Structure formats: structure tokens, C-alpha cells
């Protein structure tokens, strides 16, 4: 049937514009309750720090209670925290109000099943099937109840700390933690501090409008300056809902999701804890693939989107995967991407090896990438066009196996993304420009 409202990470959009309205959120809660808890049950609801989170929280509460579902309201908490706590509190499903790394003018709603995993397409389609119906209100005797469980966030904090190897703490580490003025602003500093780290918090003063503004994993410049300014061992940048991680080494250099995957894969490989292939995406840096190959580690590429990475990991029996953006999945620790848990695994690697983050990441060369967007009037399969296909084959042949080309349509705008990757930046840029012109001519 296909999904009309759900994207790769729930329903998302500009606040006040369909579908991110109070009326839609009410119907969405009603529909989700009917699908995920048809005989009653409980849902855990969390949110990030956006001003609009208050009204969507109230709308979801009303819709769930009217549908006969008990609501446990956790307040601001990272998305992976909701995924963990809903299992600990034995809820039937979870709901998170967040637009992740987007600006505060946007918001979104996503769901987790009782196991703390994102919903499969078929369940999202089942929820959408009810969205054209009025919100359900059960008889008074069957209505749900709403309860605040804000103080239960310590369950998640304790869980995060428990993911460190036995006997390992963070004493002696000076860490800058940037929470993007988002959902992790309380729990992340407390976890790091409780483990003994000397922390310098930034991006931990949300006002409802400053989430992801000049801070966090998408804008880590302030983190870079702070790490070098205070001579910290490393910096940690999360995004608005706490499921992405980008780090900064002691030299002020950004360490992205691909490099962090390399660090975690190598540690697990050396200790015998790596199972199955490491899974990235078609946009993962070629340097990651080649560095893992040198270690004898299998690497696979999924579609862009952490849900597709997770799907391939489960199919292939892998425990480690992620995206360049910092969505890192450690399935031996969690059921979903968790920026704080991933950061703790990297810090543990630093502690156990006695090496800096810069030294650990040095084994993976980053190949230059050039990404160009070609605007098109209508969607078409660029890779199947004869002239485009021939040009791609010629470019890849000229790079002798040390480069690659990716063509893919954007999921949100009418453009074809042309990405070329190779060892020499000037050569890569030239190939990308030439291919973009060929794609533009083919689209015309």
C-alpha cells in the first residue's frame, strides 16, 4: 500500500503545517493505540526540548487516553532512552516527539514497538489506515490514565553506564559534552560525571528555540574550539534527540560516524566481540571499507537511513553499523542508535588502549568526496540511462578500484545526488562536475 505520512524516521514537518498539527497528532495517537495496543495497555511518551513539544505531548496524551491506552510521560529524554525505558517499564510501545537534528520550527513523532525497535513498514501502514477516521473515544470505564515518570530517567542513566566494560571508568578524562540544547541535556552530563570524567558542558541550556542552533553534531565548530581551548581529551556532540554522535579529538579535528565505526570495529575485532559484517550505507566513505578490508573485516552497504542499516544488520547477523552522520548502532548494547552509548564505547577504547582518539582513528584514511545536486523536473533512474551508465563506468575504471560513484534520487526534493569519491580531491571534483552535466542533459 505504501506510506503517505511516515518517512524513514516517523512523521516529520514544519509545526503548524499538515501533518504537524495538534489535530493530526490526536488522530495519530488514536490510530497508533488501535494498532499497537488494541486491547489497552501502556505507552511511554518522551520528547526533546522544542517549544512545540508541549502541545504535541498534550495531543498524544489525549488521543492515547481516549483510545484506552495508559500513558507514561517521561518528559525530555533521548530517543534511545525511550526505546530502553519502555522495555524496563513493560510498556506496549513508545512514542517520541522530536525532529532530531532539524531546527526548532520543525517537529516529528515516531514510534517504537515493545522491544524498543522502530516499527516495520507494515505496522506504519496499518496506523495510516486509521488516519482518515475520527479519533476514537472509548466508554469511560475503558479510558486510559496518564502518569508522569520523569524521575525514572535514572533507569536509562544506569543502563548507559553499564555498557562500559567491567572495571572501566572515566576518571582522569576531561571531556567536553555538547548536547545540542536537546533531549540529552540532563542525562548525558550526569552519566559522564558519575563515571568520574571532568566534564565541560556546552549546548546544555535549552530554551525551547535553541535546539541544534550553532551546536550539536551538525554544527560542531563550538565543540572544536572548546576542546582545544580547555585541552580536553575529547569532545562529544549529540544531536537534538540524542541518537547521533560526532566526536572531536584533542587536536580539534572532527571524527565522524565512519571513523567512529572504524574505531569500534577494530576494538571489537581485536577482542573477539565483532560478529557478522560491519554495515554502512552507500554514502559511507571508501576509506572505511578499505581500512576494514585490511583488517579482514567484512563490510556491507545499505540504503541511506538507519532503519535500512538496522535491517541489513539483522539479516546478516551483524552487531555494528551506522552512517557517516553519526547514527551508530551497537546491537550488542542497544536496540537502536544511541549517541551516548556509542560515545562511551569510544571512550572505553581510549581507556583500554591507552591511545588518544586521534591515534585510534588514524588507521582509516578519509577519501575526498564531492556531492552535487542536479535538479530535475521529474524522477528518473539516472543509473539506468545508457549515456549516464557509460560515463559512470568510465569514471570508475579510470580510478582503478580506488574510487566510486553513487547516483541516487533525493527522498525529499526533486534532485539527483551525484557523489564521486576517490584519492585525489581535484580529480574527484572534476569527475563530479562532468557527471552532473551528463545527468542534467539526460534528465532534460
Instruction: Indicate which residues carry an active-site annotation.
Output: 100
Task: Give the strands of the sheet with 278-281, arranged side by side.
Answer: 299-302, 278-281, 320-322, 328-330
- Do the bridges between strand 404-409 and strand 415-421 make them parallel or antiparallel, or are there none, so unpaired? antiparallel
186-191's contacts with Cβ under 8 Å and 24+ in sequence apart are: 186/76, 186/153, 187/77, 187/78, 187/81, 187/153, 187/156, 187/157, 187/160, 187/340, 188/78, 188/236, 188/238, 188/242, 188/340, 190/157, 191/157, 191/160, 191/161, 191/340, 191/344
User: DSSP secondary structure string, 373-426?
Assistant: EEE-SS---GGGSHHHHHHHHHHHHHTTTS-EEEEEE-SSSSEEEEEEE-S-HH
CA angle 114/115/121 to nearest 5° reads 80
C-alpha angle 146-152-155 in degrees, rounded to nearest 5:
140
Residues in the chain: 444
Rounded CA separation 318/274 (Å): 8
Q: How many helices (H) and strands (E) does the chain have?
A: 14, 18
334, 237 contact by CB (below 8 A): no
Q: Is 201 helix (H, G, I), strand (E, B) or coil?
A: strand
Contact 178, 223 (CB under 8 A): yes
Environment class of 413 (CB within 10 Å of its CB; exposed 0-12, middle 13-18, buried 19+): exposed
Using CB atoms within 10 A of its CB, is residue 286 exposed (0-12), middle (13-18) or buried (19+)? Answer: buried
CA-closest candidate to residue 47, choices 100, 87, 93: 100
Q: What is the spatial distance between Cα 102 and Cα 10, in angstroms, rounded to a whole number?
A: 14
Residue written as cell 533521548?
A: 78
Cell of residue 293, nine digits: 578490508
Amino acid at each position: 500500500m505504501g506510506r503517505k505520512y511516515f518517512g524513514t524516521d516517523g512523521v516529520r514537518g514544519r509545526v503548524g503545517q499538515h501533518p504537524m498539527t495538534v489535530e493530526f497528532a490526536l488522530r495519530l495517537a488514536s490510530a497508533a493505540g488501535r494498532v499497537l495496543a488494541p486491547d489497552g495497555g501502556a505507552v511511554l511518551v518522551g520528547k526533546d526540548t522544542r517549544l512545540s513539544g508541549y502541545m504535541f505531548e498534550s495531543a498524544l496524551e489525549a488521543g492515547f487516553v481516549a483510545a484506552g491506552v495508559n500513558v507514561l510521560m517521561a518528559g525530555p529524554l533521548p530517543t534511545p532512552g525511550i526505546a530502553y525505558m519502555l522495555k524496563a517499564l513493560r510498556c506496549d510501545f513508545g512514542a517520541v516527539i522530536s525532529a532530531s537534528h532539524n531546527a526548532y520550527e520543525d517537529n516529528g513523532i515516531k514510534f517504537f514497538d515493545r522491544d524498543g525497535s522502530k516499527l516495520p513498514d507494515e505496522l506504519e501502514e496499518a496506523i495510516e489506515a486509521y488516519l482518515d477516521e475520527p479519533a476514537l473515544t472509548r466508554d469511560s470505564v475503558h479510558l486510559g490514565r496518564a502518569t508522569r515518570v520523569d524521575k525514572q530517567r535514572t533507569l536509562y542513566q544506569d543502563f548507559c553506564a553499564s555498557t562500559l566494560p567491567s572495571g572501566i571508568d572515566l576518571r582522569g578524562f576531561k571531556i567536553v559534552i555538547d548536547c545540542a540544547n536537546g533531549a540529552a541535556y540532563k542525562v548525558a552530563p550526569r552519566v559522564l560525571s558519575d563515571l568520574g570524567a571532568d566534564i565541560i558542558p556546552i549546548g546544555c541550556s535549552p530554551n525551547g528555540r535553541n535546539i541544534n542552533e550553532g551546536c550539536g553534531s551538525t554544527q560542531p565548530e563550538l565543540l572544536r574550539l572548546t576542546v582545544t581551548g580547555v585541552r580536553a581529551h575529547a569532545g562529544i556532540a549529540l544531536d537534538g534527540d540524542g541518537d547521533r554522535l560526532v566526536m572531536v579529538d584533542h587536536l580539534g579535528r572532527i571524527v565522524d560516524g565512519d571513523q567512529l565505526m572504524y574505531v569500534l570495529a577494530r576494538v571489537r575485532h581485536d577482542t573477539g566481540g565483532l560478529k557478522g559484517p560491519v554495515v554502512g550505507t552507500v554514502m559511507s566513505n571508501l576509506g572505511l571499507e578499505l581500512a576494514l578490508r585490511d583488517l579482514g573485516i567484512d563490510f556491507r552497504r545499505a540504503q541511506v537511513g538507519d532503519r535500512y542499516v538496522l535491517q541489513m544488520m539483522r539479516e546478516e547477523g551483524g552487531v555494528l553499523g551506522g552512517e557517516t552522520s553519526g547514527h551508530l548502532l551497537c546491537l550488542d548494547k542497544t536496540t537502536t542508535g544511541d549517541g551516548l552509548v556509542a560515545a562511551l564505547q569510544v571512550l572505553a577504547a581510549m581507556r583500554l588502549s591507552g591511545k588518544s582518539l586521534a591515534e585510534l582513528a588514524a588507521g582509516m584514511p578519509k577519501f575526498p568526496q564531492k556531492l552535487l545536486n542536479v535538479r530535475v523536473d521529474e524522477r528518473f533512474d539516472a543509473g539506468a540511462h545508457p549515456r549516464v551508465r557509460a560515463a559512470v563506468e568510465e569514471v570508475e575504471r579510470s580510478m582503478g578500484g580506488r574510487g566510486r560513484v553513487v547516483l541516487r534520487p533525493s527522498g525529499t526534493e526533486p534532485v539527483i545526488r551525484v557523489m564521486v569519491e576517490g584519492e585525489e580531491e581535484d580529480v574527484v571534483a572534476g569527475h563530479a562536475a562532468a557527471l552532473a552535466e551528463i545527468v542534467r542533459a539526460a534528465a532534460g
